[in-house]
Amino acid sequence: MSRPQTFFTRTVVEAGGNRWDWALLPIVLGLLVALAYGARQMAVPYQVGQAMPISLDLRELPYDLLRTTLRMFLALAASLLFAIVFAVAATRSRTAEKVLVPLLDILQSIPILGFLSITVTGFIALFPGNLFGVECAAVFAIFTSQAWNMAFSLYQSLKTVPAELVEAAEVFQLSAWQRFWRLDLPCATPALLWNMMMSMSGGWFFVVASEAISVSNQSIKLPGIGSWIAAAIEARDLHAIGWAVAAMGVGVLLYDQLFFRPLLAWADKFRFEETGSADAPRSWLLDGWRRTRRLRALGEALVRPLDRSIALLRRRHDGTSMRARPRLLWLPWLPWQRLADALIGAAALIALWQLVAFIHTEVGWREAGHVFALGAITLLRVTVLIALAALVWVPIGIWIGLNPRIAGRVQALAQFLAAFPANLMFPVAVLLILTYRLDPDLWLSPLMILGTQWYLLFNVIAGASTIPTELRDAAANLGLRGLLKWRRYLLPAVFPSFVTGAITASGGSWNASIVAESVSWGDTTLQAQGLGAYIAQMTAIGDFPRIALGIGVMCVYVMALNHFVWRRLWRLAEDRMHF
């Protein structure tokens, strides 16, 4: 009796697929079945208040890993779409850039719990009686931990497209649509992929908060690795925590081999150079897929409707060039740029007035001065930690990026280290500080950088991996050695990527200060003086005016640091230090 055949197996058999088709067919079918099953479980009927127990049975761990990974990939897709819209708008319009870039500074400094508490009720209201509303809230929470890094990376890449390629696009009279798809996005793809890996790994830091949601004085724990870790911590089950970390390692290895590594190998063709790379990244999955016969044909058939839709949009936009595109003819005398600047200035003045009124009526000027002083302490911690992290990870990132074979070997390890929940180290820090009677103001500080230092590493790796081969050969032929090689070649080559990583690492460190400056284990709580500890303390007692004051002061510090330090370094990178 013959076995029933699925659509995919019937297609391969009827079309006479080769051995590579049969080798990859189980992987394709397994992924499709797992995604379909996980997606179906995300939209089951559910009422707020319904119990959702989390079991620490090892048989449930693969299912929890599937649910968490699916949420993270949905958030990654939304983050990619947000990054594209943000980067294109900010690079195409100076007025939009003046609004969007500071707005992104504010968004990355707002704690993830602030987003979650505001949005969860709205998502549940959108899908009443269904678990999908809670799932959307969890995905959005993970999105807020992924999107800002990708948006900054794509924005920086679009701002530093090689000048000769921009001139070529103008000579060929490419439309804005054509330039984005044929120049901007291909040039930004290698660095964007490394930042997608970092964003994916960084999302693991927030899975506990995103999968354990509180609404209407009730706690909703979605099945996932985050809820597993929360239940294990509550039960003080170290073995369960160890199994969760092992499952995370398996998940990181799987999506590295099945998703990121093939994309990196495919994106190597977008490197800006005249000669091919001698040691291009390789992927066994991509090599096998290219050798298949019928699976490739089937994949092309499935994506053909999307290609036709994009082609239709291109035909609508390709009729006019960048230079010949008509401008608005109505009200030509109105200075739009000055009007926009005036509106932005008016909005800033209104916001400043509201801030002054809030401080005067709600908290008082003495309290505001105290909070600003605490912010200065946290600023000192962030600055010192970013400098120390740069001294460690910039040389390592350059070494990895210049050696594709090394990058291929350590890629999964780097993603796992970046994905390791830094909050699992907090109890260890408490025990060490109490045992050796250390100063919490000093020794709690490294906890702020544990989860954010990887932004520096991944961005530097991305910058070093895109250095053209001919530039590497020129440096070798000129005999650059020692300090001269670092000053004239290596550091300028990765400087734009370093600035991008420093911005996101700095913003993430400010956010992490809320949990790093106030650490608890059991009945013991240690606090370090700083703005993060102040926000955590006010959150614990429910003092909403002072919570708003703390978050507002944090936004002011983040925006000031980005404007007066990182933005100036970014302009230097745009003007002098890019290919």
Instruction: Please state which of the ranges 79-93, 208-222, 379-393 shows the lowest mean pLDDT.
Output: 208-222
What percent of the chain is predicted at pLDDT more than 70? 84
Domain ranges of the chain: 45-271, 343-579
What is the chain's percent helix, strand, coil content, to nearest 5? 80, 5, 20
Give the residue from 415, 375, 356, 381 showing the smallest Cα distance to 535.
375
- Specify the higher pLDDT residue, 194 or 307: 194
Cα separation, 435 vs 430, whole angstroms: 8
The predicted-structure confidence for 177-194, as pLDDT tens digits, reads as follows 888 888 888 888 888 998
* Entry pTM: 0.81
Q: Which two tokens stand for residue 206?
A: 């927030």
| Residue 482, pLDDT score | 84
Residue 2 buriedness (CB in 10 A; 0-12 / 13-18 / 19+): exposed
Decide if 45-271 and 343-579 have a common fold.
Answer: yes
What is the rounded (10 degree) CA torsion for 449, 70, 500, 112?
Answer: -50
Number of residues assigned to the chain: 579
Give the confidence band of 324 by pLDDT, cuts at 50, 70, 90.
Answer: very low
Residue range 459-465: mean pLDDT, rounded? 88
At residue 340, does pLDDT exceed 70? no
Instruction: Please state which of the ranges 41-50, 259-268, 285-294, 309-318 shows the lowest mean pLDDT.
Output: 309-318
Task: Identify the DSSP state of 215.
Answer: E
Residue range 541-552: mean pLDDT, rounded? 82
| Residue 330, pLDDT score | 40
| Residue 550, pLDDT score | 87
What own/partner pairs with CB < 8 Å and gap ≥ 24 does 60-65 have? 60/223, 61/228, 61/243, 61/244, 61/247, 62/247, 63/223, 64/223, 64/224, 64/225, 64/227, 64/228, 64/247, 65/225, 65/247, 65/248, 65/250, 65/251
Question: What amino acid is encoded at 446 in this protein?
Answer: P
- Specify the higher pLDDT residue, 247 or 2: 247
Q: Which two tokens stand for residue 240?
A: 């369960």
At residue 79, does pLDDT exceed 70? yes
The predicted-structure confidence for 236-278, as pLDDT tens digits, reads as follows 787 888 898 899 889 988 999 999 989 988 888 777 655 445 5
Provide CB contacts within 8 A for 555, sequence distance 6+.
105, 106, 109, 110
At residue 374, does pLDDT exceed 90? yes
| Residue 76, pLDDT score | 94
Instruction: Please state which of the ranges 49-53, 65-69, 212-216, 497-501 shows the lowest mean pLDDT.
Output: 212-216
- Specify the higher pLDDT residue, 142 or 331: 142
Residue range 162-169: mean pLDDT, rounded? 82
Residue range 436-454: mean pLDDT, rounded? 86
| Residue 159, pLDDT score | 85
Residue range 65-93: mean pLDDT, rounded? 92
Degrees to nearest 5, angle at CA 433 with 427 and 434? 90
| Residue 530, pLDDT score | 93
Instruction: Please state which of the ranges 319-333, 443-457, 485-499 shows the lowest mean pLDDT.
Output: 319-333
Provide CB contacts within 8 A for 34, sequence distance 6+.
66
Which CATH number does 45-271 carry? 1.10.3720.10
User: In sequence order, what are the beta bridge partners of 520?
Assistant: 525
At residue 333, does pLDDT exceed 50? no
The predicted-structure confidence for 501-535, as pLDDT tens digits, reads as follows 898 888 888 878 887 888 876 667 788 899 988 98
477, 416 contact by CB (below 8 A): no
| Residue 387, pLDDT score | 94
Give the residue from 122, 84, 76, 117 showing the smallest Cα distance to 100.
84
CATH number for 343-579: choose from 3.40.50.12780, 3.40.50.720, 3.40.50.150, 1.10.3720.10: 1.10.3720.10
Averaged pLDDT of the chain: 80
- Specify the higher pLDDT residue, 483 or 300: 483
